[in-house]
Amino acid sequence: MTIQRSACLIFNPVAGQGDPEQDLLNIQTLLEPEIDLDIRLTTPEVEAGQLAREAVERGVEMIIVSGGDGTLSAAADAVVGTNIPLGIISRGTANAFASALTLPDTIEAACQIILQGNTKVIDAALCNGKPMVLLAGIGFEAEMVEKADRETKNRFGMLAYILAGVQQLREFETFEAQIETQDKIITVTAGAVTIANAAPPTSVLAQGPAGIICDDGLLDLTVVAPANRAGAIASAYHLLQTALRGDAAERDDIGYLRARRIKVTTDPPQKVVLDGEIIGTTPIDVECVPGGLTLLMPVTEEDQPAEKLEGLPKLRVEPKV
């Protein structure tokens, strides 16, 4: 007799541009033959983070979350440090969360990964005490996210972020930033400061290093310091190109480093976006939480065992003397 697994499924019915009833039915059809689902829907009054925290308190075996980046991040934040596996089914506008963690953005493929049951432990972080899975953006990125409102995202999808970025470039401004790590203090005039634990290539302002590593116990800082609008456009394009190639940025107005803990103070205070949501203004204090999040992930070559002998007929293995 096979013992069926159980999971709390947190489902956001207003995420994405598809038919939520059909999406939920597809998920149930794919998962319920093997997983006993306790389905909880988000509402304007009850968000994904609250539902995930309640699931943790009930001692669930696994949490599966389906929605846009805000929903996914809120649920992930709630399970940081719990060792409870989290399954991701992206149904949002940008799907940055899935892209950053190399997860599929279709229901069928995401459910298949959940059914496989392969887990991977990655880092998380704390930003001013709030859990962080992806990144904290200061300056340009925060202003761009704020301008890409819900109505625009529903109408234009990913194009909403591009339109918001173009609008923000018209209002381009720099600020003074003091960046403190465990071994240095940096003062710089910047247009954007981004601290990433994980980030998709489309989060171009996070792409200074040659690939963001989400399980190295370190945060990736990128500072973009263009002199004017033309420089801002050029540096953003350069970051996109180097990210797609897997190379580090090489422009003089882009800097980057890795550190376990990073504090940022700005003058004047700047808006801060944390995992896609505006949380207030600087200063911020971000600290890596090594191994803070357990995800259901695709099986990769590095996950494949180097040896498998069990199950062979008439098997006998003896130590060589």
Give the pLDDT band (50/70/90) at residue 174: confident
Cα distances (Å, whole numbers) of residue 257 to 80, 131, 184, 218: 24, 21, 11, 10
> Is the confidence at residue 262, as pLDDT, over 80?
yes
In percent, how much of the chain has pLDDT > 70? 82
Give the pLDDT band (50/70/90) at residue 196: very high
Q: What's the CA gap between 284 and 268, in Å, rounded?
A: 14
Which tokens belong to 107?
Answer: 């229901």
Q: Which residues contact 178 (CB under 8 A, 6 or more apart)?
A: 185, 186, 187, 264, 265, 266
Long-range contact pairs involving 49-55 (C-beta distance under 8 Å, separation at least 24): 49/74, 49/75, 49/77, 49/78, 50/78, 51/8, 51/10, 51/75, 52/8, 52/10, 52/77, 52/78, 52/79, 53/78, 55/8, 55/10
The pLDDT mean for the chain works out to 84
Q: What's the CA gap between 76 and 53, in Å, rounded?
A: 10
In tens, the pLDDT along 27-84 reads: 999 999 999 999 999 999 999 999 999 999 999 999 999 998 889 989 999 999 999 9
> Is the confidence at residue 165, as pLDDT, over 60?
no
Helix (H, G, I), strand (E, B) or coil at 281: strand
Q: Name the DSSP letter for residue 27.
A: H
CB 43: neighbour CB atoms within 10 A?
11
Per-residue model confidence (pLDDT) at position 163: 44
Q: Which residues contact 192 (CB under 8 A, 6 or more apart)?
A: 137, 138, 139, 140, 141, 205, 222, 223, 224
Per-residue model confidence (pLDDT) at position 157: 47
Per-residue model confidence (pLDDT) at position 251: 84
> Is the confidence at residue 215, as pLDDT, over 50?
yes
Per-residue model confidence (pLDDT) at position 152: 47
Same-fold call for 5-117 versus 131-290: no
Closest CA to 12 of 56, 68, 73: 68
Per the model's pLDDT, the better-predicted residue between 302 and 238 turns out to be 238
Per-residue model confidence (pLDDT) at position 305: 52
Query: Which fold is adopted by the domain 5-117?
Result: Rossmann fold (3.40.50)
- pTM listed for this prediction: 0.81
Per-residue model confidence (pLDDT) at position 159: 42
The residues spanned by each domain of the chain are 5-117, 131-290
> Is the confidence at residue 224, as pLDDT, over 90?
no
Which tokens belong to 58?
Answer: 């009930």
In tens, the pLDDT along 126-157 reads: 999 999 999 999 987 665 554 445 444 454 44
Range 131-290: architecture per CATH? Sandwich (2.60)
Confirm if 110 and 99 have CB atoms less than 8 A apart. no
